[in-house]
């Protein structure tokens, strides 16, 4: 008897453990399926997923049992809940479903388990899923009309307009509510501009233009949004009424969708707009190049004033005070000599100051400056009133080199010819060279070609470093003189990291003379900071090689203009590659030069049109240059030259 009782108790307990969870689960399930008990959500929302066939949900992939994951977030926002409780319109159910578009997957998953059917809601859900997969851009002007089912086409125009465009409005409203979820600062700006492009496409459509009243309204809305947008570059710049104006334009575009149902017309209009935009871009680029070249050739007022003031002061000096000290060092081959050919006083001052301030032993450095007759007195006065510390300096007039004349130098003969002058200044002629870079009048100055006559100018020196006037020295350069040149004439930093710095960029390889002598893929290099072995130059008679090539290029058939192409030819197979850190280029045209490369560089070069002393100079690089000028200097203050 005792055993039977124990067995009965155990069976009873076992039955309770098995049946109790089933009873509780059944009650919860019935409560979940009973709409009368779900009072936490509006009645319309509870029922809106009923009776949807699985075939209607093919726009969204259904999750398998193995891929089911825990739901994220809430099904409906508080904003949707409040809207549902206040809505009394017949289409409030559809509007709420649109408003909660981003939670649609959860609603549709519930709908697949429901039993009842309502065919009208079937079509509605299909429209929502189809519409959400489309782009909000201009392509939706007519494509959405093809995806409306037969049942939805029987609705009124106002209902169709609301159903087709609420997702697009919601997308715009979300972007206008502010920068949420880490959105970019200009999200609203970009969306408004996209909306304006869409509106402009509508203006060119035939169906839209056939409705004068709508066309007038659309233009008015575009003007309002353009006025609101103004010059804003970030979301915080937009006025408070931006949302209102944008929503008004959106509503106007919704009406326009109903008028235009031909997608091909929209495509043609977009192609026409794209073609027009490309032509305008090309014209603007061409104008930018011209204006940049013009700005680069223009002398700022301050730089025009400075040499006049300096020259005036120089001629007021006593002749005994017009001379530089330490003349005995000028021909000492044991010292460190620099060649600088320039007519820009400020640029030359920065080169000298930066070299001296970064030198370990300034007294061992000698600067040889050559300028033209116009700036000779001013250049001397500047360095007399601003001596370079313990370093030695000389300033010479190019006209002192009487041996450098047209009978000796072919390039000087070419520069003095009328055809060359016409080539440089015939910008108004139709047959002028399209590349303005090759027609900069600075190439008419013989100063630019003096670098090919270094052994003749400095006959007592064995090695010299050539510096352009648009460089800044950031480190001591004395180790350049200890480099083993290995029989080469010039030490250079190669620039063939990019494909356009090869020989074929500078030379005319359609000419047989060039093809026979040079490799089009050979690595190019740059002037600006170069070390020259003058003894080897004399031994290999480099000047004569230079002259022979200049004579062959009398008609400019081998290369255009400038000094780099003849330099590449003259020193072909005579260059010694230096480490790239010696000479970093691009600060006069490339805003993306690495700050790390600049910090590691011994010399930085502002090659290009955006020189640091011009207003068009790149601001992010200007401080490297201006740091070596004392703007409190009286001459600079008098000429209103500021950093």
User: How many Å apart are CA 185 and CA 157, to the nearest integer?
Assistant: 37
Retrieve residue 620's tokens.
């992010």
Give, as one character, the DSSP assignment of residue 523: B
Give, as one character, the DSSP assignment of residue 632: T
User: How many Å apart are CA 496 and CA 384, to the nearest integer?
Assistant: 41
Whether 633 and 386 have beta carbons less than 8 Å apart is answered as: yes
Highest average pLDDT, of 162-171, 236-245, 276-285, 322-331, comes from: 322-331
pLDDT score, position 627: 95
- Report the run of H or E that residue 222 belongs to, with start and end: helix 212-229
Of the candidates 96, 87, 246, 248, the one whose C-alpha atom is nearest the C-alpha of residue 175 is: 246
Mean pLDDT of 134-141: 38
Of the candidates 121, 128, 123, the one whose C-alpha atom is nearest the C-alpha of residue 99 is: 128
pLDDT score, position 31: 52
Mean pLDDT of 507-515: 93
Mean pLDDT of 15-28: 66
pLDDT score, position 2: 64
32-82 residue pLDDT tens:
545 444 444 444 433 444 444 444 444 444 444 444 444 444 444 444 444
Rounded to the nearest integer, the mean pLDDT of the chain is 76
Q: How many residues are recorded in the chain?
A: 643
Mean pLDDT of 161-179: 41
390-414 residue pLDDT tens:
999 999 999 999 999 989 998 888 8
Main-chain phi, psi angles of 206, to 5 degrees: -60, -45
User: 81-85, 446-450, 558-562, 567-571: lowest mean pLDDT where?
Assistant: 81-85
User: How many Å apart are CA 534 and CA 574, to the nearest integer?
Assistant: 12
Give, as one character, the DSSP assignment of residue 559: B
Give, as one character, the DSSP assignment of residue 438: G
pLDDT at 267 exceeding the cut of 80? no
202-233 residue pLDDT tens:
787 777 778 888 888 888 989 888 888 887 87
pLDDT score, position 631: 93
User: How many Å apart are CA 463 and CA 548, to the nearest integer?
Assistant: 24
Task: Give SS3 for 146.
Answer: helix
User: How many Å apart are CA 176 and CA 171, to the nearest integer?
Assistant: 9
* Pairing status of strand 336-341 against strand 603-605: unpaired
Give, as one character, the DSSP assignment of residue 155: S
pLDDT at 433 exceeding the cut of 70? no
Mean pLDDT of 138-150: 39
Mean pLDDT of 544-558: 91
Main-chain phi, psi angles of 266, to 5 degrees: -65, -40
Of the candidates 446, 406, 444, the one whose C-alpha atom is nearest the C-alpha of residue 423 is: 444
The residues with which 338 forms a beta bridge, in sequence order, are 367, 465
CB atoms within 10 A of CB 92: 16
Helices in 48-186 by DSSP H: which ranges? 78-86, 92-99, 104-112, 119-132, 140-146, 157-176
Whether 424 and 563 have beta carbons less than 8 Å apart is answered as: no
Chain centroid to Cα 420, Å, comes to 36
pLDDT above 70: percentage of residues in the chain = 68
171 burial (CB, 10 Å; 0-12 / 13-18 / 19+) is: middle
pLDDT at 487 exceeding the cut of 90? yes
């Amino acid at each position: 008897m005792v055993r039977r009782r124990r067995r009965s108790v155990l069976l009873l307990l076992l039955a309770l453990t098995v049946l109790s969870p089933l009873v509780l689960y059944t009650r919860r399930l019935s409560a979940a399926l009973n709409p009368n008990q779900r009072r936490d959500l509006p009645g319309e929302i509870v029922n809106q997923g009923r009776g949807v066939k699985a075939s209607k949900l093919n726009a969204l992939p259904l999750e398998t049992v193995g891929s089911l994951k825990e739901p994220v977030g809430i099904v409906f926002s508080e904003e949707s809940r409040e809207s549902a409780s206040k809505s009394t319109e017949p289409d409030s159910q559809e509007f709420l479903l649109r408003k909660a578009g981003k939670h649609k997957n959860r609603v549709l998953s519930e709908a697949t388990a429901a039993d009842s059917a309502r065919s009208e809601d079937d079509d509605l859900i299909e429209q929502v899923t189809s519409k959400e997969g489309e782009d909000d851009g201009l392509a939706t002007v007519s494509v959405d009309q093809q995806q409306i089912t037969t049942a939805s086409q029987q609705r009124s125009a106002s209902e169709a307009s609301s159903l087709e465009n609420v997702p697009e409005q919601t997308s715009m409203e979300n972007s206008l509510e502010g920068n949420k979820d880490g959105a970019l600062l200009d999200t609203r700006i970009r969306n408004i501009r996209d909306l304006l492009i869409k509106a402009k496409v509508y203006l060119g459509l035939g169906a839209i233009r056939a409705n004068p009243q709508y066309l007038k309204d659309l233009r008015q809305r575009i003007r309002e949004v353009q006025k609101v947008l103004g010059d804003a570059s970030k979301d915080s710049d937009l006025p408070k009424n931006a949302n209102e104006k944008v929503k008004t334009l959106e509503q106007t575009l919704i009406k326009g969708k109903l008028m235009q149902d031909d997608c091909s017309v929209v495509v043609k209009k977009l192609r026409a707009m794209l073609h027009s935009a490309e032509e305008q871009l090309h014209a603007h680029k061409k104008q930018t190049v011209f204006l940049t070249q013009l700005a680069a050739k223009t002398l700022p007022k301050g730089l025009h004033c400075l040499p006049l003031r300096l020259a005036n002061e120089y001629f007021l000096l006593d002749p005994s005070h017009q001379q530089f000290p330490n003349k005995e060092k000028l021909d000492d081959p044991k010292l460190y000599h620099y060649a600088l050919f320039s007519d820009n006083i400020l640029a030359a001052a920065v080169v000298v100051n930066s070299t001296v301030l970064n030198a370990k032993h300034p007294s061992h450095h000698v600067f040889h400056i050559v300028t033209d007759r116009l700036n000779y007195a001013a250049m001397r006065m500047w360095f007399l009133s601003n001596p370079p510390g313990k370093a030695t300096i000389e300033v010479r007039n190019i006209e002192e080199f009487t041996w450098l004349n047209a009978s000796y130098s072919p390039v000087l003969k070419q520069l003095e010819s009328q055809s060359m002058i016409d080539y440089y200044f015939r910008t108004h002629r139709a047959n002028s060279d399209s590349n303005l870079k090759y027609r900069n009048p600075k190439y008419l100055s013989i100063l630019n070609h003096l670098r090919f006559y270094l052994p003749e100018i400095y006959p007592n020196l064995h090695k010299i470093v050539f510096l352009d006037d648009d460089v800044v020295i950031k480190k001591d350069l004395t180790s350049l003189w200890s480099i083993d040149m290995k029989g080469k004439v010039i030490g250079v930093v190669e620039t063939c990291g990019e494909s356009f710095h090869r020989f074929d960029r500078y030379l005319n390889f359609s000419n047989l003379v060039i093809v026979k002598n040079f490799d089009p893929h050979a690595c190019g290099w740059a002037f600006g900071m170069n070390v020259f072995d003058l003894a080897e130059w004399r031994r290999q008679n480099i000047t004569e090689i230079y002259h022979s090539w200049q004579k062959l290029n009398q008609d400019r058939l081998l290369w255009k203009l400038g000094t780099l192409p003849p330099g590449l030819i003259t020193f072909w197979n005579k260059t010694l590659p230096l480490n790239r850190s010696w000479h970093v280029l691009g600060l006069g045209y490339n805003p993306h030069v690495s700050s790390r490369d600049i910090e590691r560089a011994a010399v930085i070069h502002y090659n290009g049109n955006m020189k640091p002393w011009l207003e068009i100079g790149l601001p992010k690089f200007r401080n490297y240059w201006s740091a070596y000028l004392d703007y409190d200097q009286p001459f600079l203050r008098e000429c209103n030259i500021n950093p």
